[in-house]
Structure 1
Amino acid sequence: MTVPNDESAYDRVRWAQWQAGQARLPGLSRRGLLRLTAAGGLALTALGTAPGTASAAGPIVKPLPPEWFDVYGTNAETRWEAMSGQGYLTPVDRFFVRDHTSTPVLDAAGWRLRLFGSGLRGAPTAANPVELTYRDLRRLPSETITAFIECAGNGRSFFTSQQGQAVSGTAWKLGAVGVARWRGVRLATVLARAGLTRDAVDVLPEGLDPDYVTGGVNLGKVRRPLPVGKALQDVLLAYEMNGEPLPPDHGFPVRLVVPSWVGISSIKWLGRIEVSATPLVSPWSTQFYRLLGPDYPAEGTLVTEQVVKSAFELPWDATLAAGRRHVLRGRSWSGHGRIRRVEVSTDGSTWEQAKPVGSTADRGWLRWEFPWRPRTAGAYTVRARATDVTGASQPDVAPYNTQGYLFGAVVRHPVTVVPTA
């Protein structure tokens, strides 16, 4: 069976199969999930406010200094001023954290990646899987990529603050994104070693973090299926981040990196991969991470590829001196490919092109700068908008969806200009 790699076509096929009872939901019955949805339990999960199962290490392991992070329970957003002067890559200690429950502390020596399912030669079972140790993985041919990982809800707060629309979920501004240099093994290499067959249609990676429980129902480990076409294309099993072993909060010992797609696809603390010759779904593809609202089909649309965004490396409501030359710096990125052009507006009406800084990566971001000399004191709003290689550009208004995913509109960043002392 051939499954389309195009995410919208894939979603249409999978949704129809799930509704018809032809797609499996490993770890939870379809009836149980629908019952939970009807009871409203999944709405709480989508908010990101349900208490997770805490591990001994606590929700987040690394230090979260307030000058670098805004903390939302089990999540920590990078403050953009903390990226000023930091070079192209996001330092690991400043990289945002998105946890559904809590960060597990795992031992690499005891770690195993278990692969099983009807899409592998011999159809190994979960009880008798193909296994790779950490050492096995490190012995395979490695690859290094530079790519951003971004939460699907990055920018969510602006649906409310800019567009006056109520949405549910963690009120991220623009700091739930980071670019790192990831080293690991291509998922395609591991699947080939495990005996991938031509019948395989879906790959279901699963994390080792604590089970996610909401509304009295245990949804199990965080997991989200990938079409086999995407799995074979550019997905990495990463064990290094910026030249060092992955830290606990970012997936140690091994995580998935799915370039250009929303962060939920890049499963952390990878433990199992089911490879199936029949369709697979999970709560993270049927209930969460779907675009829902008046402009979408009743079943919603699966969230996959990221949209174009831009951010200034400035504090929110930054203070600048009048009559002096300032250099506004920022970064722009897109799930569609490289950024082709960035424009900046400081007066609300005219746009001027920003100057690119340094090199960029296809799956990373573009750094840029823009000189500005505000003549008079007062309240200003600075804006940045990017256009990528496909011609996609940031609109003035983002399409509304109730969960606040994929906010890609131009963000109005307030700046206060004060008289020169």
Structure 2
Amino acid sequence: MTSAPPSEAAYDRLRLRQWARGRAVSAGTHRRDLLKLVAAASVATPWVAAAAAPAAASQPGLPGVVKPLPPEFFTLRGTNAETNFEALRDTGLLTPVDRFFVRNHTATPSVDAARWTLTVWGNGLRGGPVDFSYDALRALPSVTRTAFVECAGNGRSFFTSQQGQQVSGTAWTLGAIGTARWRGVRLAEVLRRAGIGRHAVDVLPRGLDAEVAGDGVNLGRVRRPLPVSKAMDDVLLAYEMNGEPLPPDHGAPVRLIVPSWVGIANIKWVGDIEVSEQPLLSPWNTGLYRLFGPGHPPEGSAPLTRQTLKSAFELAPGASFAVGREHRLTGRSWSGGTPVRSVEISTDGGGRWRPARLRDEPRAGSWVRWAADWVPRATGPTVLLARATDRSGRVQPAATAHNTQGYLFDAVVRHAVTVV
């Protein structure tokens, strides 16, 4: 049973056919280079982006990121910083900015809000380009929404460690996710004021970070089209995060928030938005962010949209527990579809399951915290498991179907611990 509305499923099928038949318009990248990406993706060839010089002060060990990245909060992965899940144990529903993961394709740019302008343009408008200053955007009616942002590759490393399958990309565990309270303007409000036409089909936001290049191909600035139906629904142009102006690493001065969709759709440092009467393609919905491999078409699946269902313990790998004492296990579960309905845990590697107590009211687009008590009776190694069920009846599986780039891992994760 799918949790995506029919309009999204129809859009996905349509884009897949258009891509396969060469009927969509390439937005800024030559089609031969897009085909090169597809060929590489189909055989799990890693895509290595060239490093970009940071435009702002950075921390030792991870050029291009502005905020401190203490090892008790983060694990560094290339240009990215993954949140250590155990660092969330003493936090509330919202992820503090100082613990929110960082996903950068190049480096965090320094953008002056006072000089920033958002340009909305394209043949999908009734008139010419329309500019919005930062002050003008903040003067529009605002909306506040709690939502998680999660990289499509979150959990990627488990394809290898649990399923023995080769994948390419950043070896995330489960910390490429964070939930925040975002405040901003509905994208629909901006598009209406810009004069979106009735024949528009795609909306393409583009970031102001450096161009992405590697393997002899310049992919340009990060950009990924949204269907008009999604753009006019629940998408935000956000300028605040947890009640404060957006920090540089998280998209300042303005970023997209696309609830429940894969992280790449949530473009940071937005500089312009193209509105098109033709379907649009970019590297981030052709060779990247599609599913390739056995069970998928040669040209890949439809572009990834909604996130999947996952659970994680707020616990360091290899943690130790005293035998015969009561311990409180905590964690979080989330779904890109319907809200989480229930969570079960196992403390013996899956032999027996019991329900966990939900600590929050489950809501769409957010995660739910949970807890369970455990008194281990024997010493030695064991494996903790957590699996969620959402309101559509979907349950986390024992294994995830393989894809070469390691996207959308949703299987139950085996968390090894020791009882002493």
Please classify the TM superposition score into its range, dividing by the shorter chain length: over 0.9
Q: Aligned residue for 2:99?
A: 94
Question: Secondary structure of the equivalent of 2:114?
Answer: coil
Count of residue correspondences: 408
- CA distance in 2: counterparts of 1:243 and 1:213, whole angstroms: 35
Counterpart of 1:104 (choices 109, 132, 136) is: 109
Q: CA deviation at 1:46?
A: 7.3
Q: Aligned residue for 1:17?
A: 18
The one-character-per-residue Cα deviations of 1:321-351 (angstroms, maximum 9, x if unpaired) are 1110000000000000211000001122111
Indicate yes or no: 2:126 matched with 1:121. Answer: yes
Q: Aligned residue for 1:337?
A: 338
Residue 86 to residue 48, structure 1, CA distance change in 2 (3 Å)? farther
Q: CA deviation at 1:43?
A: 8.2
- CA distance in 2: counterparts of 1:52 and 1:8, whole angstroms: 36
Q: CA deviation at 1:53?
A: 1.7
Q: Aligned residue for 1:326?
A: 327
Q: CA deviation at 1:36?
A: 6.1
> Residues 5 and 227 of structure 1 are in contact (CA less than 8 Å); yes or no, is this contact kept in structure 2?
no
Residue 48 to residue 333, structure 1, CA distance change in 2 (3 Å)? farther
> What amino acid is aligned across from residue 381 of structure 1 in structure 2?
V
> Residues 201 and 276 of structure 1 are in contact (CA less than 8 Å); yes or no, is this contact kept in structure 2?
yes
Q: CA deviation at 1:44?
A: 11
Q: Aligned residue for 1:303?
A: 304
Q: Aligned residue for 1:175?
A: 175
Question: Secondary structure of the equivalent of 1:414?
Answer: strand
The one-character-per-residue Cα deviations of 1:347-393 (angstroms, maximum 9, x if unpaired) are 22111000011334321111100000001211010000000111111
Map 1:386-401 onto structure 2 (within 5 A).
Answer: 386-401=388-403
> Residues 156 and 404 of structure 1 are in contact (CA less than 8 Å); yes or no, is this contact kept in structure 2?
yes
Indicate yes or no: 2:385 matched with 1:383. Answer: yes
> Residues 185 and 236 of structure 2 are in contact (CA less than 8 Å); yes or no, is this contact kept in structure 1?
yes
- CA distance in 1: counterparts of 2:6 and 2:23, whole angstroms: 19
Q: Aligned residue for 1:212?
A: 212
Indicate yes or no: 2:415 matched with 1:405. Answer: no
> Residues 347 and 382 of structure 2 are in contact (CA less than 8 Å); yes or no, is this contact kept in structure 1?
yes
Q: CA deviation at 1:37?
A: 5.4
The one-character-per-residue Cα deviations of 1:164-213 (angstroms, maximum 9, x if unpaired) are 11111111000000100000000000000000111010000100000001
Question: Secondary structure of the equivalent of 2:18?
Answer: helix
Deviating 4+ runs (over 6 angstroms):
42-46
Question: Secondary structure of the equivalent of 1:113?
Answer: strand
> Residues 44 and 214 of structure 1 are in contact (CA less than 8 Å); yes or no, is this contact kept in structure 2?
no
Q: Aligned residue for 1:202?
A: 202
Residue 14 to residue 108, structure 1, CA distance change in 2 (3 Å)? same
> Residues 43 and 404 of structure 2 are in contact (CA less than 8 Å); yes or no, is this contact kept in structure 1?
no
Question: Secondary structure of the equivalent of 1:33?
Answer: helix
- CA distance in 2: counterparts of 1:300 and 1:324, whole angstroms: 50
Question: Secondary structure of the equivalent of 2:206?
Answer: strand
> Residues 36 and 217 of structure 1 are in contact (CA less than 8 Å); yes or no, is this contact kept in structure 2?
no
- CA distance in 1: counterparts of 2:213 and 2:43, whole angstroms: 11
> Residues 34 and 286 of structure 2 are in contact (CA less than 8 Å); yes or no, is this contact kept in structure 1?
no
Question: Secondary structure of the equivalent of 1:109?
Answer: helix
Q: Aligned residue for 2:159?
A: 159
How big is the alpha-carbon RMSD for the aligned residues of Structure 1 and Structure 2?
Answer: 1.7
Gapped regions of structure 2 (runs ≥ 5): 57-62
Q: Aligned residue for 1:55?
A: 54
Residue 31 to residue 48, structure 1, CA distance change in 2 (3 Å)? closer
Which shifted more, 5-14 or 143-152?
5-14
Q: Aligned residue for 1:237?
A: 237
Residue 359 to residue 159, structure 1, CA distance change in 2 (3 Å)? same
> Residues 152 and 262 of structure 1 are in contact (CA less than 8 Å); yes or no, is this contact kept in structure 2?
yes
- CA distance in 2: counterparts of 1:47 and 1:6, whole angstroms: 33
Counterpart of 1:354 (choices 353, 356, 367) is: 356
TM-score (normalizing by structure 2)? 0.94
Question: Secondary structure of the equivalent of 1:50?
Answer: coil
- CA distance in 1: counterparts of 2:193 and 2:291, whole angstroms: 36
Question: Secondary structure of the equivalent of 2:345?
Answer: strand
Question: Secondary structure of the equivalent of 2:278?
Answer: coil
Residue 35 to residue 211, structure 1, CA distance change in 2 (3 Å)? same
> Residues 48 and 215 of structure 2 are in contact (CA less than 8 Å); yes or no, is this contact kept in structure 1?
no
Q: Aligned residue for 1:221?
A: 221
- CA distance in 1: counterparts of 2:44 and 2:345, whole angstroms: 37
Q: CA deviation at 1:298?
A: 1.3
TM-score (normalizing by structure 1)? 0.94
Question: Secondary structure of the equivalent of 1:27?
Answer: coil
Q: Aligned residue for 1:7?
A: 8
